[in-house]
Structure 1
Amino acid sequence: MKNVAVASAGTLAAGIGYASLIERNAFVVREATMPVLTPGSSPLKVLHLSDIHMRPTQRRKQAWLRELAGLKPDLVVNTGDNLAHPKAVPAVVQALGDLLSVPGVFVFGSNDYFAPRLKNPANYLTNPGHRIHGEPLPWQDLRAAFTERGWLDMTHTRREFEVAGLHIAAAGVDDPHLSRDRYATIAGAADPTANLTLGLTHSPEPRVLDRFAADGYQLVMAGHTHGGQLCLPFYGAIVTNCDLDRSRVKGPSRWGARTQLHVSAGIGTSPFAPLRFCCRPEATLLTLVAAPTGGSDAGTRAGQSDTTVSAR
């Protein structure tokens, strides 16, 4: 029994070491094709970033983020939780670099407004609605930096704009994880003449996804879940940290008859839980193509692949 206990302790220590030192920094670009555009639309390359959770000292993450501009997306979508430190705004802006010259849209998450705090990990299983807020973060400075470079703040806003010759009608809500969402401020049918109708939210709460779907949005993009962050082989995510079911914790999926959902597994972690297991940190390059029947009922998970982009 003693030998078994020692072996088990050694395995656990090795697993923690791998999750904290290796996989947490094993950044990857995941690629997927989603047939969501109106018939006849040309393809659109969208880079989805979420949950960067930046601290000023994270040089490896910053270097990796700077390389993403080489993917040459047509549009960048940022679904929040960029910060993990009160002095991280310059690091985020410098790391995003040339991506801020690409058309972009964003909403904020809870860790743009408040710094993370040490929490009881059991709360994720036994009391997922429990909220502990850290010190306020300078989200206004981050918003100013993004908007000065031309990115559009979609918080409780509807906007229509052109990207790569396509007409996009977008809307977003504030973070449902903090109960800051006010969908009534953007409610109403999405523009049916747009090549793409796009909804943004940080946390993919079903109550918000239902509203976007009812209003006819073709694609909703979210983050927050970290893909489960700690996953089990052959089982997947243990928790989603929201009311979304585990099967949709990351990647493309369907939501209702006509809406597709993309949830990013995110790039960072809380400094108080710097672990990832069976869930590499990711950015996602989505190639949006025309839906064959004008709806969203074909092959959302087809064509997924991982591309490692290493930091120098």
Structure 2
Amino acid sequence: MPLAGAAAAAGAGTLAWGYSELERFELHTHELPILEPGALRGTGEFRLLHVSDLHMIPGQEAKTAFLNALDELDPHLVVNTGDNLSDERAVPDVLRALGPLLARPGLFVFGTNDYWAPRPVNPAKYLTGAKREPSYVDLPWRDMRAAFLEHGWRDANQARHEFKVGPVRIAAAGVDDPHHDLDDYDEIAGAPNADSDLALALLHAPEPRVLSRFAADGYQLALAGHTHGGQICLPGGHAIVTNSGIDPKRAAGLSEFDGMPLHVSNGLGTSKYAPVRLFCRPSATLLKITERRG
């Protein structure tokens, strides 16, 4: 039995390490030169902060401190791509964590874990990539949505918006969570306003059937979350599964989809029933959007 004991010890050690990674938050920064020359009117760059998958539980002080500190980046726009909750009591914690960011211009879409409480998961089923049925136990998402709106953030679930942030004219559209077919792209279909400087597409889960329509309509940048970057990854952050239709190579970070830039966030949390990350630390991303060169 020495071999079995060694295997059990190694497994326990891996789980302990994966649990310890939950509070090793990282900030990723990318430059994205996608604006027409002159769009920034000499301001240099447009800073977009992308946060996703907070999965807040009361008492997560390290996560709250990390999110509060992101305001020091002075983002022009905050985009939140959903799954903020992992507990029915966590709405005040979400608002406290987002804190100063709520005073900035913001857009949001929801994931199913904003609407319904998490449920215990079978890790083996997760690694097969099988879709898990929601609990359908309601979370207080209406209260959270109302607070976001009161602070001036725009709800992009099944909606289109046009507004300016500084000199930049933004056209944004979003869908409700496509992972469980809550979306209806036809409701927001069509090209973004041609007079906009930056056309943003928002969705929680990066499902190809929706991304392809955003790309065909001419959006310049799609933002999504949901995958947790794979959550249980191989060394180097290589995702094994994505819990969505997107391929593992595009489970985190910047890539392209049908010629449209796509950013998928690693997310900042996990379900309270699966508190582990391997080779995939929680993160937020600052996208420095600049004008195309030449």
- TM class by shorter chain equals over 0.9
Unaligned runs of 5+ in 1: 294-312
**Conserved 8 A contact 2:157-2:175:** yes
Give runs of aligned pairs for residues 39-118 of structure 1, distance below 5 A.
39-42=37-40, 43-118=45-120
SS in structure 1 at match of 2:54: coil
**Conserved 8 A contact 2:128-2:241:** no
Aligned to 1:19: 18
Alpha-carbon offset, residue 41 of structure 1: 2.5
Distance 1:271 1:237 in 2: 20
Aligned to 1:296: none
1:44–1:179 Cα change, 3 Å: same
Which of 246, 250, 255 is equivalent to 2:257? 255
Which of 30, 33, 36 is equivalent to 1:35? 33
Residue type of the partner of 2:124? A
What's the % identity of the aligned pairs?
51
The RMSD of aligned alpha carbons is 1.4
Q: Deviation per CA, 1:202-252, whole angstroms, max 9, x where unpaired?
A: 000000000100000000000000000010115711100001000000001
Aligned to 1:183: 185
Unaligned runs of 5+ in 2: none
Aligned to 1:218: 220
Residue type of the partner of 1:37? L
**Conserved 8 A contact 2:34-2:289:** yes
Alpha-carbon offset, residue 9 of structure 1: 2.4
Distance 1:197 1:76 in 2: 15
Distance 2:225 2:237 in 1: 20
Distance 2:109 2:204 in 1: 7
SS in structure 2 at match of 1:187: coil
Distance 1:218 1:127 in 2: 29
Aligned to 1:9: 8
Q: Which stretch of structure 1 is more off in the superposition, 38-47 or 135-144?
A: 38-47
Q: Which stretch of structure 1 is more off in the superposition, 105-114 or 66-75?
A: 66-75
**Conserved 8 A contact 2:48-2:288:** yes
Alpha-carbon offset, residue 12 of structure 1: 1.8
Distance 1:210 1:287 in 2: 24
Distance 2:105 2:236 in 1: 38
Give runs of aligned pairs for residues 217-236 of structure 1, distance below 5 A.
217-234=219-236, 236=238
SS in structure 1 at match of 2:29: strand
Alpha-carbon offset, residue 38 of structure 1: 2.2
Q: TM-score under structure 2 normalisation?
A: 0.95
Alpha-carbon offset, residue 133 of structure 1: 1.6
Q: Deviation per CA, 1:61-101, whole angstroms, max 9, x where unpaired?
A: 11221111111101000000001111111111111111101
Distance 2:137 2:237 in 1: 36
SS in structure 2 at match of 1:208: helix
SS in structure 1 at match of 2:123: coil
Distance 1:220 1:234 in 2: 24
**Conserved 8 A contact 1:44-1:164:** no
Distance 1:135 1:256 in 2: 37
Aligned to 1:309: none
Distance 1:126 1:89 in 2: 31
**Conserved 8 A contact 2:121-2:274:** no
